Structure 1
C-alpha cells in the first residue's frame, strides 16, 4: 500500500499514524504521511484555526511529539485504532486549543512486522456543534467510514456502488437494498445499484420502473415531509402509509414488504434519488438510522460527481450535430480494443457509410442544408443499426461497429440501409461492409470495410453519372 497515495484521497485534514510494536505495550508514535490539507495546516496564513508550531515544517515519519506535547489520551485513541483495530471517534475541546476537534481514526491493514497503522482525520470548528456531540457508536463510525473510503478510492464507480449496496443490506440485515436515481424535472427514474438476499431469488427494481413510477417517488417526499427518512417498522406505520397513499401501500403488500427504511439522497438542495432497504431486522432500527443518515450524505455527493463526469464524458464523446458518437470516442474505442483493455468477440461486423454529394449540397444550398443532410442521414443509421455503435468518423463518413448480430442479420441491415438511402436527389450512402469471423485485428476489418465502401461509391457514380460532378 502506498500510504501517501492512500491519504491523498481524503478531503479533510488527514494523516497516517504508526505505532511501534512492543512485546509489553507500544513504542513511538509517528506521523508517517499527511495529505495536502493536513500539511498546509503547518503553514502560516493557511487559514488554520489552531496555533501549530510554525517554523517546524512537516517532516514525514516524525514522532507526533515534535508538533504537540505528549498526550496520553491521544495515544490511547491512536493505540486503540492502530493496534487494537478499533474504529475510533471523539468530539473534544482540548484546553490548549480554542477550537473543537471532531476526530476520526480507522485501522489500516498494512503488513509491517514492526508497526501498526491507522488514519487520523480532524475537522475543526470555533463553535460547538451540538450535532457532533451526539455520540456515534464505534459500529456506526466503522460502517460509515468504510463506505466513505470505498467511494473515495474507487476506480470503478458502478462496481463500488454494488459493493456498498451489499454492505448496507448486511448492515440492515435486510432482504433487499437499492439506490434509485430521480430526475423530477424530466420525469425519469433509473436503477443505479441493488443487492438482494439469495433466498428471495431474482428480484430487480428495473422490472417495475416506468413513466408512472416517478409519481410514487414524488409521493415519498410528501410522506417524509422534510424529515431525514421514513421508517416503516410495524402495522401502525403501515396503516399510516395506507391512509396517506393507498396505491403505494398496496404495492408494498403485493411485494411482501413488511418493513421499509427509505432515505432521500440530497445534493445542493436537490433530491437526486433514494436509497431503501426492505424487511430489515427490527433490532437494528436505531443503527440503520444512525448509519444511513450519515452515509447518504457521502453517497449523494459521490453520485452527483459521477453524474457530472458522465455528462462531461458524453459531451466530449458525442457529435453535437448528429448526436452519434464522435471521432474522439471512435479512436478511444479502437485504442482500448487494440490495447486489450476491452475484449471483442471472435465475430463482429464493421460498416462504413459515406454520404454522397454532401459537398455539392454545402456549395449549392449552403451549410445549413448540408447539416440537415447529415442529421437526416444519422437518423437513418440509428434506425437501421439501433443496437450498434455508431460514430461520425469525420465529415460525411460514419462508422458502425456491431458486436451483437450474426453475419446474416447484419448483412440484412446493410441491405436495408441501401434501400433507405438510394435516392441521389435526397439521401444516398456509399456502404462498405466487412464481417470478421475469426477474431482478427479490427484495423484489418476497418480497412476491408473502407475499401468496400469506395467500391460502392464507384458503383453509385456509374449508376448515376449525373452526380459525378456533384
Structure 2
C-alpha cells in the first residue's frame, strides 16, 4: 500500500497508524507507519526526526484513550473525532481518525490527522452530535439559571447518570490543603445495589491521590471491560480493589480542572459500554464547563467566608454581627434571650511589651474561650479587643454562671475579661447599649483594682 502517496494529499499534520488485533477483541502493537511532510517537519522541530514504522509511543505520549480510539476506528471502520486538552503540555489537540482498508487480517490501519494549539478553539470544542450538544447545553443552562448551586449540580449529575445509562454518577471536590473530600452531587439509579458515595468517604482522599499518576497526562480514565479493569489493577491496585468492593465493572473518571488546578473529579460507574465514545465526548465537554462553574462557586464561597469571618480569630466578624442585629430589628430573626459585650483587658500592654504576635495569640485564645463557654450562642469580634455574644435561649441565672465560667477559664490562661450582659430585653439596640454600659463599668472596676495595668 502506497501510504506516502495517500498522505501527500493532506496539508495538515497526518500519519498512518497500524494496530494489531487479538482474538479476544483486545489490541497489541500500535505503530506509526508513515508521515506526511507536515508531520515529519513537526517531529524534526522538536528534535525527534520521524522514522517510519516506529512504535507510536516513540513520538506521542503513551495514552490509553488514544490507543482505544485507534482501535475503535480501525476495528469498526468508522471515523472518529476528538478535541482534548493536553494539560501537561499547555496545548489543545484537535484529532481526526479515518479508517483505511487493511491488507492484513489481524491488523487495522487508520489515518491520524491532527493539529495542536496553545488556545482553546470554541468551534472545535462544540463540534458534537446534536444529542450530545443538547445534553451539554442543558447542563450549562441549568447551572447559569440557578440560585441554589448545590441543588442544581445534583440535578445535572442525575441527568448525566441517565444519559450514560449508568448506575452511579458523582461529583467529588478535593482539597489538598486539608486532605479532604466533599460530595457536591451523588446520583444512583433506582433499584441499584450500589451504595451512595457517603458510605466511602472515610479516608477516601488517599485514593483520590492515586488518580493523577493513573491518568498519566490523559484527560480521563475509561474502564470499559474486564481487560481494562485487569490493567488498572496492575497500575493502581488500591483503587482497583476499591472499585471491586463497590461492585464497579465499568468506570469513566474525569478530573475537574480549572486554571491548571484540580478541583475534584466526576465519574460514572457501570455505564453502557456500547456508548463509550459518546459518553466520553459528553463528559469531556461537560466537565470543562462544570469545572468553571465549580471554580466560581468555590470563589464565591471563599469570598462569603472572608466577608463573614474574622481572619485572625476565625469567629464571626462585625459585618455579620451588624447584619444579625438588623435582621432582629426588622423582625426577620427573633430577639436573643441574652446579649453580652466582652472586652479583653490588657491587650495594649501585651502588644507593647511582647509584640503584636503575642497580642494576636491572646486575641485568638480569648475567642476560643468565648466560643467554648457560649457554644449555644453566636460569638462575634466587634472590633479591636471587643467581642459580642448573642444567645437565643438561656435563663438569667445561667448567664451569670457562664460569665463566671469565662472568668475561671480565662484566669487559668492568664487572660482577663470585662463583661456586661443584658437578659430578657425586648429591643436589640437597647439591650446592646445596656450590655455595653455594664461592660465598661466592669472594666473600670477591674482597672481600679489593678492600677498597675495600663488601660486598654
The question of a shared fold, defined as TM-score above 0.5 by the shorter chain, is answered with yes
Cα shift at 1:327: 1.2
Structural RMSD (CA): 4.1
What corresponds to 2:133 in structure 1?
A: 141
Asked whether the 8 Å contact 2:257–2:263 carries over to 1, the reply is: yes
1:27-426 superposed matches below 5 A: 132=124, 135-184=127-176, 187-197=179-189, 199=191, 204-210=196-202, 212-336=203-327, 344=333, 350-362=339-351, 369-385=358-374, 389-401=378-390, 414-422=403-411, 426=414
1:413–1:256 Cα change, 3 Å: farther
Asked whether the 8 Å contact 1:190–1:206 carries over to 2, the reply is: no
Asked whether the 8 Å contact 1:353–1:453 carries over to 2, the reply is: yes
What corresponds to 1:430 in structure 2?
A: 418
1:349–1:266 Cα change, 3 Å: farther
Cα shift at 1:337: 5.6
Cα shift at 1:297: 0.4
Asked whether the 8 Å contact 2:257–2:264 carries over to 1, the reply is: yes
Q: Which moved more, 1:273-282 or 1:130-139?
A: 130-139
Find the aligned partners of 2:134 and 2:140 in 1 and give their Cα distance: 10
Asked whether the 8 Å contact 2:381–2:388 carries over to 1, the reply is: yes
Unaligned runs of 5+ in 1: 1-124
Instruction: Name the SS for the 2:257 alignment partner.
Output: strand
Find the aligned partners of 2:170 and 2:403 in 1 and give their Cα distance: 41
1:330–1:262 Cα change, 3 Å: same
1:130–1:350 Cα change, 3 Å: closer
What corresponds to 1:90 in structure 2?
A: none
Structure number with bigger Rg = 2
Instruction: Name the SS for the 2:411 alignment partner.
Output: coil
1:170–1:338 Cα change, 3 Å: farther
Asked whether the 8 Å contact 1:355–1:430 carries over to 2, the reply is: yes
Find the aligned partners of 1:451 and 1:381 in 2 and give their Cα distance: 20
Instruction: Name the SS for the 1:324 alignment partner.
Output: coil
1:271–1:398 Cα change, 3 Å: same
Instruction: Name the SS for the 1:381 alignment partner.
Output: helix
Unaligned runs of 5+ in 2: 1-116
1:400–1:146 Cα change, 3 Å: farther
Find the aligned partners of 2:327 and 2:152 in 1 and give their Cα distance: 22
Cα shift at 1:429: 1.8
Asked whether the 8 Å contact 1:319–1:325 carries over to 2, the reply is: yes
Asked whether the 8 Å contact 1:418–1:431 carries over to 2, the reply is: no
Find the aligned partners of 1:454 and 1:134 in 2 and give their Cα distance: 67
Asked whether the 8 Å contact 1:354–1:396 carries over to 2, the reply is: yes
Count of residue pairs brought into register by the alignment: 337
Cα shift at 1:449: 5.1
Asked whether the 8 Å contact 1:349–1:410 carries over to 2, the reply is: no
Q: Deviations over 1:264-290 (max 9, x none)?
A: 111122222101122334454333222
Find the aligned partners of 2:166 and 2:430 in 1 and give their Cα distance: 52
Cα shift at 1:310: 2.8
Asked whether the 8 Å contact 1:351–1:449 carries over to 2, the reply is: yes
1:448–1:171 Cα change, 3 Å: farther
- TM-score, structure 1 length as denominator? 0.59
Instruction: Name the SS for the 1:330 alignment partner.
Output: helix
Asked whether the 8 Å contact 1:161–1:193 carries over to 2, the reply is: yes
Find the aligned partners of 1:230 and 1:183 in 2 and give their Cα distance: 21
